[in-house]
Chains A and B, each alone.
Chain A
Amino acid sequence: MSTTPLIYLDASQVRQARSLARRAGAPVVKLAKAHTTVSVERATLRLAGLTGADHEGQPWVNHLVDAVRGQVGLEHGVTTPVFDALRAGAAPDLLTLAQQSAAGSVTFRLPEGRDLKATQRAARTAVARGIRTIDAQRAVRDRLIRRHGDPKQTPWIYLIVATGDIDEDIPQAQAAAREGADVIAVIRSTGQSLLDFVPEGATHEGFAGTYATQENFRLMRAALDETSREVGRYVRLTNYASGLCMPEIATLAGLERLDMMLNDSMYGILFRDINPIRTFVDQRFSRQIHARAGIIINTGEDNYLTTADAVDAAHTVTVSQLLNEYFAKEAGLEDWQLGLGHAFEINPEVPESFRLELAHALLARTLFPDAPLKWMPPTKHMTGDVFRGYLLDGFFNLAGTMTGQGILLVGMMTEAVVTPFLSDRDLALQNVRYVLDAAGGLREDFHPPRDGFIQTRSRHVLGEAVDLLDRIATDGLLDAIADGTFGLMKRPADHGKGLDGVIVRAPDYDNPAVTLLETGATR
């Protein structure tokens, strides 16, 4: 989707911005490599094939990880004690072992010497099966895209469905796809990010969204496969790899062939008060899974602008995009998988607000020419005046097409009023379609002058971003987060939810999933 850039940026300044992002991010990657978390270990067991939950809904992966942690700790990785117990004949399979461990009847130990080697081989064989399922799902996606095709236009039209009940979500998602949506996002139940387990099965009760579960993923993907055949284009499915179970949800997404995942490097820290180290460790593992699964990630920079001012804080978006890019590439994601986020959130009362929006959107477009940028609609200045909101969404759509955004989240005029009515969604899609049909080619004619307002503003924001990155690289990213640099929220590294699930890796830490993901091996 890249053509000649519409704005001129100083190449050496762009290089400097990226090298500062690397300098700021590298210590965090080192930290991530030195730790594991309960959720990373649970994700590993899920790859090895352990599914299901007890009658109270507590997943077996949680039982098994807790049992191992209680007896021998997790610093060596969960698979070594688990597969040692299996080899010793404590149980015939993982599920039985988990059930017995929940009853307290399994004794775990840390094998040594030849036992250790054989145990590690057994663990790797089991986990590799899960990785190969992810590989196979990626191949299926590629085949379906060849068969049905991609959307005819960019940006891709991204629509949210959220009823709380998967059985209601499915017909709504199918209807939305028939009406023109290219990407369906099933928004999660509002409390899920702070659950330290992934619920099981098809769910019918959620608050402002539907729980992310393996079964819900499977049901929705199957329904959209059916609709893809019907509409003659591959309809993509999105969910959220965020919160305390980010690695597990990423894993389930890979296993069930989700196509995009919301996955921001700092969102959980800033907006959910999840411990920074927990987040960065979970983040790296989930991004490695996404890279392997061919999933496009969507980052959450739009959120900064809902708490801070969209003009004053424009450069924090750029900084976060550069950090997200660094962390993503370090984890193996490619440019086409980086749905870096940004949003149309400037106060419409600000003079020249639309030109400022164009400047910011073009800056992102030019900095990341090969990334399918995710363009998020206004929310903060949607006042409840639905008529004015509809106009604002029209301008948002226009900015999206003029600046060549990759993924356009459809704005609802009832934002901040009610969950969208059927008619709101229909009107919103009409709005998008009108703008794309009427002005889809406008980008061709749109060349803001080099010394004009838009280009000058873009370069100004980049300059501010470089200054801030310089400060972050010098002070350290964790300290910058602790000081409230992003979204004005202060999040110290030794606070936050999920801290007790962070474990320092021992020198002999072994995790076959990490090995397979880092080497690209399939066995």
Chain B
Amino acid sequence: MTNRKHLRETPRKVTPQIVRPYGDTTGDGMVQMSFTLPLPHDKRAEGAALQLAKKMGMDPALVVHAKPIGPDFTFFVVYGSSNHLVDLSQVHVQEREFPLLTPKEVNVAVKRGLRRPLVVVGACIGTDAHTVGIDAILNIKGFAGEKGLEYYSEITVVNLGAQVLVPELVAKARAAHADAVLVSQVVTQKDAHIHNVSQMTAAFREAYPAGKVPLLVAGGPRFEDGSAERLGVDRIFGRGTTPGEVASYLVHAIVPPATPRKKAS
């Protein structure tokens, strides 16, 4: 952890260790929830909805809306006070382990550290056809007002697009002398994202000599925090990741003299 500046920005109001949801008054615990029960709409169905809400910790709970969907289902909106408390000392999240750099700083760091462009190969692998994620990071168009990696003069981007087969990805990565491989996985039905990424990391480890595997990065909205090691990738990026974050991470992980690269093996 070389840079902790981002952890302490402006001094904020001291937050208590224990919090509850906020409706319109501190401590009221108010939440809303909607769901469907496979029951025809009647008094019993509403009672069933209340029972569910209570079991989920909403007490008192109020069914504010119940509407039949066809003859066999009922849709509910429930408001109520949650009797659960959140203990902030028990909340664990992954903090960003690298400093955020501007595109210019990234280019300078690559130029000084690598003395050649940093090569990034990106793809949606397996059956996934949703290029939204990888395109947001790679395409010059970018995401959230930040230009994509194609915009960086010292980063060479090879975007293979959608439904790339793993052997093809490995071959292209080798041919391009990739420093990093970015894969995006949006489709998560039946854990396709986990399956695909594990398959990819295995293929890379097989194809490269130990210690020479390019940096493997997976991105997508449904990866669990902290699952990188289990999947065999170096880093996972989740929903809302911007190109700048990815570029900064690549510099942190690849370009010397940053901290020695942690390898998943």
299-336 of chain A: CB within 8 A of chain B: 306-309
Q: Which residues of B contact A190 (CB under 8 A)?
A: 127-129, 187
With an 8 A cutoff between CB atoms, is B73 at the interface? yes
With an 8 A cutoff between CB atoms, is A3 at the interface? no
Establish whether residues B132 and A272, one from each chain, have CB atoms under 8 Å apart when the complex forms: no
Q: Name A349's closest neighbour in chain B (CB-CB).
A: B145
With an 8 A cutoff between CB atoms, is B46 at the interface? no
Q: What size tier do the contact residues of chain A reach?
A: 20 to 34
The smallest beta-carbon distance between A349 and chain B, in angstroms, is: 10
The smallest beta-carbon distance between B64 and chain A, in angstroms, is: 15
Known: A193-B163, A272-B163, A380-B132. 13 other contacts (CB 8 A): A189-B127, A190-B128, A190-B129, A193-B129, A194-B163, A271-B131, A271-B161, A273-B160, A306-B132, A307-B132, A421-B36, A426-B69, A426-B75
Q: Name A309's closest neighbour in chain B (CB-CB).
A: B141
Tell which of A272, A419, A423 touches B36, judged by Cβ atoms closer than 8 Å. A423
Establish whether residues B73 and A422, one from each chain, have CB atoms under 8 Å apart when the complex forms: yes
The smallest beta-carbon distance between A418 and chain B, in angstroms, is: 9
Cα of A419 to Cα of B186 in the assembled complex, Å: 12
Q: Name A270's closest neighbour in chain B (CB-CB).
A: B161
Q: Which residues of A contact B8 (CB under 8 A)?
A: none
Q: Name B140's closest neighbour in chain A (CB-CB).
A: A488
Q: Which residues of B contact A307 (CB under 8 A)?
A: 131-132, 135, 139, 141
Tell which of A207, A384, A427, A489 touches B192, judged by Cβ atoms closer than 8 Å. A207
Cα of A144 to Cα of B235 in the assembled complex, Å: 57
Q: Which residues of A contact B131 (CB under 8 A)?
A: 271, 307
Establish whether residues A207 and B127, one from each chain, have CB atoms under 8 Å apart when the complex forms: yes
Cα of A453 to Cα of B163 in the assembled complex, Å: 41
The smallest beta-carbon distance between B18 and chain A, in angstroms, is: 27
Cα of A384 to Cα of B238 in the assembled complex, Å: 14
Establish whether residues B162 and A207, one from each chain, have CB atoms under 8 Å apart when the complex forms: no
Establish whether residues A384 and B163, one from each chain, have CB atoms under 8 Å apart when the complex forms: no
Q: Which residues of A contact B160 (CB under 8 A)?
A: 273
Residue in A307, A423, A488, A489 with the greatest tally of chain B CB atoms within 10 Å: A423
Q: Name B135's closest neighbour in chain A (CB-CB).
A: A307
Listed by A's residue number, 11 A-B pairs whose Cβ atoms lie within 8 Å are A164-B189, A189-B127, A208-B189, A271-B161, A273-B160, A307-B132, A307-B139, A309-B141, A416-B221, A423-B35, A488-B141
The smallest beta-carbon distance between B182 and chain A, in angstroms, is: 16
Closest CB pairs A-B (n = 4): A191-B127, A423-B75, A190-B127, A426-B69
With an 8 A cutoff between CB atoms, is B34 at the interface? yes
The smallest beta-carbon distance between A454 and chain B, in angstroms, is: 26
Q: A208-B187, A419-B189 are in contact. Are A273 and B141 (CB under 8 A)?
A: no
Q: Name A380's closest neighbour in chain B (CB-CB).
A: B132
Establish whether residues B127 and A308, one from each chain, have CB atoms under 8 Å apart when the complex forms: no
Establish whether residues B132 and A207, one from each chain, have CB atoms under 8 Å apart when the complex forms: no
Tell which of B140, B161, B164, B221 touches A489, judged by Cβ atoms closer than 8 Å. B161
Q: Which residues of B contact A416 (CB under 8 A)?
A: 221
With an 8 A cutoff between CB atoms, is B239 at the interface? yes
Q: What size tier do the contact residues of chain B reach?
A: 20 to 34
Cα of A164 to Cα of B190 in the assembled complex, Å: 11
Tell which of A178, A189, A419, A488 touches B70, judged by Cβ atoms closer than 8 Å. A178
Cα of A208 to Cα of B131 in the assembled complex, Å: 15
The smallest beta-carbon distance between A347 and chain B, in angstroms, is: 11
Establish whether residues B187 and A207, one from each chain, have CB atoms under 8 Å apart when the complex forms: yes
The smallest beta-carbon distance between A465 and chain B, in angstroms, is: 20
Tell which of A179, A273, A380, A423 touches B163, judged by Cβ atoms closer than 8 Å. A273
Establish whether residues B70 and A179, one from each chain, have CB atoms under 8 Å apart when the complex forms: yes
Cα of A426 to Cα of B75 in the assembled complex, Å: 9
B18-38 CB contact bits vs A (8 Å, 1 = yes)? 000000000000000011100
The smallest beta-carbon distance between A194 and chain B, in angstroms, is: 5
416-432 of chain A: CB within 8 A of chain B: 416, 419, 421-423, 426-427
Q: Which residues of A contact B239 (CB under 8 A)?
A: 384
B161-200 CB contact bits vs A (8 Å, 1 = yes)? 1111000000000000000000000010110100000000
Q: Which residues of A contact B189 (CB under 8 A)?
A: 164, 207-208, 419
Establish whether residues A273 and B36, one from each chain, have CB atoms under 8 Å apart when the complex forms: no
With an 8 A cutoff between CB atoms, is A175 at the interface? yes
Q: A380-B132, A488-B141 are in contact. Are A271 and B162 (CB under 8 A)?
A: yes
B205-219 CB contact bits vs A (8 Å, 1 = yes)? 000000000000000
Q: Name A427's closest neighbour in chain B (CB-CB).
A: B75
Cα of A494 to Cα of B57 in the assembled complex, Å: 61
Cα of A272 to Cα of B128 in the assembled complex, Å: 10
Q: A190-B129, A273-B161, A423-B75 are in contact. Are A175 and B70 (CB under 8 A)?
A: yes
B55-87 CB contact bits vs A (8 Å, 1 = yes)? 000000000000101100101000000000000
The smallest beta-carbon distance between B124 and chain A, in angstroms, is: 10
Cα of A307 to Cα of B161 in the assembled complex, Å: 11
Q: Which residues of A contact B128 (CB under 8 A)?
A: 190
Cα of A175 to Cα of B73 in the assembled complex, Å: 11
Cα of A374 to Cα of B36 in the assembled complex, Å: 31
108-134 of chain B: CB within 8 A of chain A: 126-129, 131-132
Tell which of B67, B129, B141, B221 touches A271, judged by Cβ atoms closer than 8 Å. B129
Q: Which residues of A contact B139 (CB under 8 A)?
A: 307, 488
Cα of A309 to Cα of B135 in the assembled complex, Å: 12
Q: Name B77's closest neighbour in chain A (CB-CB).
A: A423
Cα of A273 to Cα of B162 in the assembled complex, Å: 7
Establish whether residues A308 and B129, one from each chain, have CB atoms under 8 Å apart when the complex forms: no
The smallest beta-carbon distance between A420 and chain B, in angstroms, is: 12
